[in-house]
Structure 1
């Protein structure tokens, strides 16, 4: 009987179909009863154990997005610069001059809790291969991290090891880690978040696709050999809730990385793609050979015939189930044009990497798998890759909160001296006492894990390898240069150096009140950060991290987060290139107790901006004697429920900052972010150049209280420094872009080695030399990470 008409057989060591049905074995693989019935009815028979394993990983939440796909359809996925959007390995944005930027964000949350070093390291390796699968050379990494409060030894251990894993892998493969963010909250105690973003450069006419086109083409497995590490990582590790204390038994499901092999794989794949012989490419990450082969075939409407005997292995006795589900790292799947196999094989031989022809593309539309002459799987490729149920998502809830204090009380464009306090200035004696208390609070905030410098993290990363980094970690956004001599042969000549800005932001501080606000604010914060360095927002990639979607409140939060992001992106004209959803980030309570520990809904936004300024604007003061100004309108939020969004103000404020940078009117610019105006001023000074590492400023009482003025969060606002002669041109530019005007307030001057901060009507709240403040600021995270 030919393979085309044969029925797949059970592998000798696998449970037979009658036992699978009698014992409901699909449940142990993470499939529901309803999914089992759908599989059985569609196939017209019971699946083999190998087939059931393939469904269990391909239909896992991590791969199939069963609970999130309908919500994600609300995100805007169109834009003039978007060359390739959601559904491929990475999104691609046109950056001009014949070049494009591939961008993607992925999570490795569950593995990083179980085995933090390898979990974080292989998260880096996986996202690099996603960008490589778009035909792009990976040129930068950014990471977004969340941990429990560092008072607990386990949280400090996770913090240290995750950072070490990112550094160990990224440094070894020669891709700079140029930015990111970190936050701490008790909800992440047993569920740390490790989201990694990668960007790569590709010629716009050389973008690769993950498709298995043209029957007769050969399917190659290249890179590392296949082992038993990471089996069922997508299904039984990343797509379900942990039990309390379960981490140790899950360790075998965590992949083990080899960055030196990954570096060779990057170079070999790029060289093979350059020949034109490779017509399809996909990385092997979650679900291994199963996902890569079925998705390549499904996108093209073709089939693939696989022979597992040809898969290079590093362990003996591996079954078809293990081979199809293994998530061994540093592997890619290539579709090679028939007749050009020798070209590709020579390249991989030179890099001493495996290049095994394990399959052939056909017109059947089916994924057929053989091992030792037996047919062990025969499945419709599109059903396997895209047939998982898609669960309904509730209608989103937008908060109808009051306007923020700033927009309620401040007429746009008023001079600082005319801005009244809603409560009036405090009495002198009360002001003095309040000033001393606020000064202590400011010093404590700068030395805390929330307000301290992130240098302890990024100084472990090689952020200059590749010589593209213009603004390194520590600024509002990282900036990379596309060198002017990289014009496309035969295309337009290279112009001035093209630069791109990259930021990574989250806003879970709003999520407890409104997940919608958290999603919206994450996008707005990213746009403000790239604008601060002189870049116009061009596109985002996103990572959505939530708890168990089987609980209605989590599904509601998912719907709200996505809608918040969608509304902000549409308002600012920013397309979504793709991204990642990580659910089940919660841990069941120990036996005998009720409830579960779930994370705050945590949307992470990776923002890409195109730098319009002749040189990027740093976040820190540059020259003594410069004028310190406040651009825009802070929200001065004292509580999340005060949040509201003014998209028109956001657009106009971002336009003002970008144009001011393009015209060279600002020498430094720093977004207020989550710490408020006092933190922004402190960071701009503490990170400043010698002689420009302090300031003397007096704040008008723009907010309802001193606390709100100094510590209030949010809003489109930046602390900038301006040459004295450029203050009037900046004010004129603000007036040109109105009405209504984006406020610009003169606060004081940049000076050396001291920070003097006063408030009108309340006197001086901080007057300190910079050195002790800087030491405490820089040591905050290092102290938090100590064993």
Structure 2
């Protein structure tokens, strides 16, 4: 095709189709370049100035997040964050969203989401050790949603399993608002010798830029712009914007990058993954961070399609590709090294000191712009904020559940898709590969041992968007603290988080208020427990026909288990063990799974979260685990005490006989800051002395799978076999 001229682009406003506003185009042409940008240059600005790459709508909000602690080696701004875990070791982790691509091409959208996040980890020089995911879909009521779920799960499993990385945990939720806008958030965790860390920079005049990995094709062009747009009935079929993955090439690339950084660190000055916006974002960001310029020769780029234009090559998001900055004296070594792995490795450019970004194609100069204009000169928007009217209208509403039959309600709740067993999905994933997995999916957190040490890494991701919808600030705090309870219940100390911030259109004042307030809530909770936010991403414009998803921040948290003997799971261990509820229970039903079951909608406000009490309870549980007082531990979340009891009994086919001061309704309350624990009878005095207050002795674990419960208002015996069958088979039944 003949590319439009710079004048045509201006006159016909073609830049609008790529997401640039009239004001932004005018800023580029009149102020930055003082001329009209050509076709390739306009394309570069459109992807680099998209929300997905520039965070132009969210930067102001993101600055509220704490990102420092004694452990932080690298924080936001790198491909992934790094935390020191002692003994010259560091943990590297990040989460990314791949929401829009997964809505259009669920298998490849999910697979390339996993591939991209793994590259973010090994581009830091780290060996990836585990992946996790947080998924949200519409209700499982029609063939289209079921197909979407099956394909996303298959894509995650297909890619992760082929690469040989265990999927050790995650979460899946189903709500109406995600029917046309599923959320697919992937997280990867890796390990690194602290001294091997590589920055994503391109510095030093005349140093060389080396392209490594798969060939460049036409897939994923404008993927970053696509991710910064909203869906409508007419605008959601951009399949060309979805990338196509090859896990076998990624495995070679991963092994090669980890080895070259470990054994030949001096060869490489910088390394970065080609993620969103492909070749332009990786090279421009590397040069901008180093204060350098670049010259690229696209005729050298390995291509798998013929007659690709400069625009197509620069914007392609073909997968499994990396950019390296290499000293000239080592370039032959680097090329030979990757050739041994049967990977393309080619010099495609060099670093300059003039801060210009120059691209040649077919021996013509097709781009000559200041490199910082792509990364540093992006406008930063200060969006209008308005509290949603629903919060003002419903602030005094308190949902009061009606339970006439405790046993029937209990079984019904166990069958709800948000609570029921997700094994139907996660059995697709290999959770044991690499043989370091200590705790597999199904408990509170995944746990992976660190070879050659007594240490392990606990990891979880959490997102309860129903709470955030009702009260973004408190909901944001709860998201962090629920993740922290999962880490603590597994025997770990929370040390840092990554996040995916999934929201609607930031130009809508109510949606922006939700983003801003929930980030403030996340920040306050992180400060309380000293878990800096060291990486993450923002996914805005998650709307369909102008209707937004719930505000859905996902928190991925990593914890350090200093002694693997402290690893704790949620399953009851022995007949006769004593069961305790730690924490106070109140009538917290707004935003609960029971409210959705009985009302079919969310309504009301949330009680303020007492961060001091939350931290105290977490610290007490950690102390009790380290002193070997606790045999099982489970945090209370969706469905409250009744669900935590049943889930703790399922694994080993136990029952329990308990008596509680709680009312029957409070068995399903979702009050925060609570844990369910079991202890050996001979530890009772020590355990109670440590806790002192805010606990209730409930009863004992029994060998017969019968759930005997006496509340303040009821007595009931539930057949544990029926309860377990209901919980285990509910999703398989819905998926048929």
- TM-score normalised per structure 2: 0.94
For the 8 Å contact 1:612–1:662, the answer to whether it is kept is no
For the 8 Å contact 2:220–2:317, the answer to whether it is kept is yes
Spell out, residue by residue over 1:293-318, the C-alpha distance to the aligned partner (whole angstroms, 9 max, x if none).
10000000001110000000000010
Number of the residue aligned with 1:744: 695
Q: Secondary structure at the match of 1:205?
A: helix
What is the alpha-carbon distance in structure 2 between the residues aligned to residue 563 and residue 35 of structure 1?
A: 29
What is the alpha-carbon distance in structure 1 between the residues aligned to residue 235 and residue 42 of structure 2?
A: 25
* C-alpha deviation, 1:609, in angstroms: 0.9
Gaps of 5+ in 2: 592-604
Q: Indicate whether 1:19 and 2:2 are aligned.
A: no
Number of the residue aligned with 1:322: 312
Q: Indicate whether 1:121 and 2:128 are aligned.
A: no
What is the alpha-carbon distance in structure 2 between the residues aligned to residue 642 and residue 287 of structure 1?
A: 40
Number of the residue aligned with 1:467: 435
Number of the residue aligned with 2:100: 110
* C-alpha deviation, 1:512, in angstroms: 2.4
What is the alpha-carbon distance in structure 2 between the residues aligned to residue 296 and residue 150 of structure 1?
A: 44
* C-alpha deviation, 1:364, in angstroms: 1.1
Q: Secondary structure at the match of 1:748?
A: strand
* C-alpha deviation, 1:625, in angstroms: 1.1
Q: Indicate whether 1:695 and 2:656 are aligned.
A: yes
Runs of 4+ in structure 1 displaced over 3 angstroms? 393-405
Q: Indicate whether 1:273 and 2:224 are aligned.
A: no
Match among 171, 186, 191 for residue 176 of structure 2: 186
Number of the residue aligned with 1:3: none
5 Å matches for 1:613-692?
Answer: 614-640=565-591, 641-687=605-651, 689=652
For the 8 Å contact 2:470–2:606, the answer to whether it is kept is no
Q: Indicate whether 1:773 and 2:734 are aligned.
A: no
Q: Indicate whether 1:758 and 2:716 are aligned.
A: no
* C-alpha deviation, 1:644, in angstroms: 1.3
* C-alpha deviation, 1:440, in angstroms: 0.2
What is the alpha-carbon distance in structure 2 between the residues aligned to residue 600 and residue 154 of structure 1?
A: 21
Number of the residue aligned with 1:92: 82
5 Å matches for 1:156-555?
Answer: 156-235=146-225, 237-244=226-233, 246-247=235-236, 249-274=237-262, 275-276=264-265, 277-393=267-383, 437-484=405-452, 496-555=453-512
Q: What is the alpha-carbon root mean square deviation over aligned residues? A: 1.9
Spell out, residue by residue over 1:220-266, the C-alpha distance to the aligned partner (whole angstroms, 9 max, x if none).
1110000001111111x21111111543x311211001001100000
Q: Secondary structure at the match of 2:566?
A: coil
Alpha carbons of 1:566 and 1:635: their partners in 2 closer, same or farther (altered >3 Å)? farther
Match among 570, 581, 586 for residue 527 of structure 2: 570
What is the alpha-carbon distance in structure 2 between the residues aligned to residue 397 and residue 666 of structure 1?
A: 44
Alpha carbons of 1:320 and 1:669: their partners in 2 closer, same or farther (altered >3 Å)? same
Q: Secondary structure at the match of 1:522?
A: helix
For the 8 Å contact 1:394–1:559, the answer to whether it is kept is no
Number of the residue aligned with 2:596: none
Spell out, residue by residue over 1:326-347, the C-alpha distance to the aligned partner (whole angstroms, 9 max, x if none).
0000001111122101111112
What is the alpha-carbon distance in structure 2 between the residues aligned to residue 245 and residue 727 of structure 1?
A: 64
* C-alpha deviation, 1:584, in angstroms: 0.6
505-514 vs 673-682, greater mean Cα deviation: 505-514
For the 8 Å contact 1:402–1:644, the answer to whether it is kept is no
For the 8 Å contact 2:385–2:512, the answer to whether it is kept is no
Equivalent pairs, count: 714
* C-alpha deviation, 1:764, in angstroms: 1.8
Q: Secondary structure at the match of 2:9?
A: helix
For the 8 Å contact 2:454–2:562, the answer to whether it is kept is no
340-349 vs 167-176, greater mean Cα deviation: 340-349
For the 8 Å contact 1:367–1:378, the answer to whether it is kept is yes
Q: Indicate whether 1:604 and 2:592 are aligned.
A: no
* C-alpha deviation, 1:784, in angstroms: 2.6
What is the alpha-carbon distance in structure 1 between the residues aligned to residue 328 and residue 222 of structure 2?
A: 33
Number of the residue aligned with 2:598: none
- TM-score normalised per structure 1: 0.88
What is the alpha-carbon distance in structure 2 between the residues aligned to residue 435 and residue 699 of structure 1?
A: 17
What is the alpha-carbon distance in structure 2 between the residues aligned to residue 747 and residue 537 of structure 1?
A: 28
* C-alpha deviation, 1:772, in angstroms: 2.4
Number of the residue aligned with 1:417: none
For the 8 Å contact 1:210–1:281, the answer to whether it is kept is yes
5 Å matches for 1:42-57?
Answer: 42-57=32-47
What is the alpha-carbon distance in structure 1 between the residues aligned to residue 108 and residue 99 of structure 2?
A: 11
5 Å matches for 1:63-82?
Answer: 63-82=53-72
138-147 vs 452-461, greater mean Cα deviation: 452-461
For the 8 Å contact 1:397–1:516, the answer to whether it is kept is no
Q: Indicate whether 1:783 and 2:719 are aligned.
A: no
What is the alpha-carbon distance in structure 1 between the residues aligned to residue 493 and residue 85 of structure 2?
A: 12
Gaps of 5+ in 1: 1-11, 406-422, 424-433, 485-495, 589-595, 736-740
Q: Secondary structure at the match of 2:47?
A: helix
For the 8 Å contact 1:85–1:92, the answer to whether it is kept is yes
Q: Secondary structure at the match of 1:516?
A: helix
For the 8 Å contact 1:650–1:716, the answer to whether it is kept is yes
Spell out, residue by residue over 1:201-234, the C-alpha distance to the aligned partner (whole angstroms, 9 max, x if none).
1111111110012112111111000000111111
5 Å matches for 1:1-12?
Answer: none
What is the alpha-carbon distance in structure 2 between the residues aligned to residue 516 and residue 783 of structure 1?
A: 37
Q: Secondary structure at the match of 2:525?
A: helix
What is the alpha-carbon distance in structure 2 between the residues aligned to residue 240 and residue 156 of structure 1?
A: 25
For the 8 Å contact 2:664–2:714, the answer to whether it is kept is no
Spell out, residue by residue over 1:657-701, the C-alpha distance to the aligned partner (whole angstroms, 9 max, x if none).
1011111111000001122000000100012x25xx221111212
What is the alpha-carbon distance in structure 2 between the residues aligned to residue 621 and residue 394 of structure 1?
A: 50
What is the alpha-carbon distance in structure 2 between the residues aligned to residue 474 and residue 145 of structure 1?
A: 15
* C-alpha deviation, 1:152, in angstroms: 2.2
Spell out, residue by residue over 1:558-608, the C-alpha distance to the aligned partner (whole angstroms, 9 max, x if none).
1111111011111222211120100010011xxxxxxx2210000100011
For the 8 Å contact 1:304–1:360, the answer to whether it is kept is yes
Spell out, residue by residue over 1:153-212, the C-alpha distance to the aligned partner (whole angstroms, 9 max, x if none).
221111111111100000000111100001110000100000001011111111111001
What is the alpha-carbon distance in structure 1 between the residues aligned to residue 426 and residue 584 of structure 2?
A: 31
For the 8 Å contact 1:147–1:159, the answer to whether it is kept is yes
Alpha carbons of 1:612 and 1:629: their partners in 2 closer, same or farther (altered >3 Å)? farther
Q: Secondary structure at the match of 2:444?
A: coil
Number of the residue aligned with 2:595: none
Number of the residue aligned with 2:664: 706
What is the alpha-carbon distance in structure 2 between the residues aligned to residue 694 and residue 436 of structure 1?
A: 23
For the 8 Å contact 2:471–2:606, the answer to whether it is kept is no
* C-alpha deviation, 1:402, in angstroms: 9.6
